[in-house]
């Protein structure tokens, strides 16, 4: 199944159950003008819907690869990672996501996507070069980024100087 088909299947399944969700990760970059190869679809979903999400995705044909309080990784009809919004910051990301550039699903804001990229490489240093390259491309294509919001997120992870280094490459 193509990534677009995986996205459609997952989001249609969530919509039918009125479960709020937003696109994040590599596929979300395209909503902000950045094309990058990716092998899966990443969605942000309210953590309070965790059990229901798992059940409906299994019924839809996905198979559980891994699950925790933070993430549900699925395969089968497509590679799908569902990150659970369990904290105030991620719930806010979900609440102000919106449809952009005729994307078929809500996407987190530019600043929130950058924040998730920062968190990803801090949590998994092997991702650092790709995630920083993604941040650079996002900032190059979106000069109106709100650096105040980005700084607040970066400071949570002690990464403002890294973001400034990226910003200086623009």
Domain identity same for 19 and 47: yes
Q: What is the pLDDT along the chain (170 residues), one digit of tens a residue?
A: 788 899 999 999 999 999 999 999 999 999 999 999 999 999 999 999 999 999 999 999 999 999 999 999 999 989 999 999 999 999 999 999 999 977 889 999 999 999 999 999 999 999 999 999 999 999 999 999 999 999 999 999 999 999 999 999 99
Domain identity same for 25 and 75: yes
Residue 132 C-beta-side C-alpha neighbours within 13 Å: 20
Domain identity same for 86 and 10: yes
Q: What's 25's domain CATH number?
A: 3.30.460.40
Domain identity same for 159 and 79: no
Residue 117 has a pLDDT of 97
Residue 55 has a pLDDT of 98
Domain identity same for 170 and 130: yes
Q: Give the helix/strand (H/E) hosting 3.
A: helix 3-16
- CA-CA distance, 73 to 53, in Å (whole number)? 11
CB-CB neighbours of 105 under 10 Å: 22
CB-CB neighbours of 41 under 10 Å: 27
Domain identity same for 128 and 54: no
- CA-CA distance, 26 to 23, in Å (whole number)? 9
Residue 103 has a pLDDT of 80
Domain identity same for 5 and 84: yes
Domain identity same for 65 and 31: yes
Query: How many domains would you assign to the chain?
Result: 2
CB-CB neighbours of 37 under 10 Å: 6
Residue range of the domain that includes 11 = 1-108
Examine the fold and report which residue of 70, 90, 108 is the final residue of a domain before the chain moves on. Answer: 108
Residue 99 has a pLDDT of 93
């Amino acid at each position: 199944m193509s990534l677009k088909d995986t996205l459609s299947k997952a989001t249609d399944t969530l919509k039918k159950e009125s479960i709020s969700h937003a696109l994040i990760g590599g596929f979300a970059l395209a909503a902000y003008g950045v094309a990058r190869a990716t092998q899966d679809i990443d969605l942000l979903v309210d953590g309070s819907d965790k059990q229901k999400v798992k059940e409906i995705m299994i019924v839809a044909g996905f198979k559980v690869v891994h699950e925790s309080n933070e993430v549900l990784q699925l395969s089968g009809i497509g590679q799908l990672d569902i990150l659970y919004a369990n904290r105030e910051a991620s719930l806010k990301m979900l609440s102000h996501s919106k449809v952009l550039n005729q994307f078929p699903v809500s996407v987190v804001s530019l600043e929130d996507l950058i924040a998730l990229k920062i968190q990803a490489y801090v949590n998994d240093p092997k991702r650092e070069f790709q995630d920083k390259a993604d941040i650079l491309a996002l900032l190059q294509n979106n000069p109106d980024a709100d650096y105040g919001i980005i700084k607040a997120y970066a400071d949570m992870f002690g990464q403002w100087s890294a973001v400034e280094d990226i910003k200086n490459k623009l």
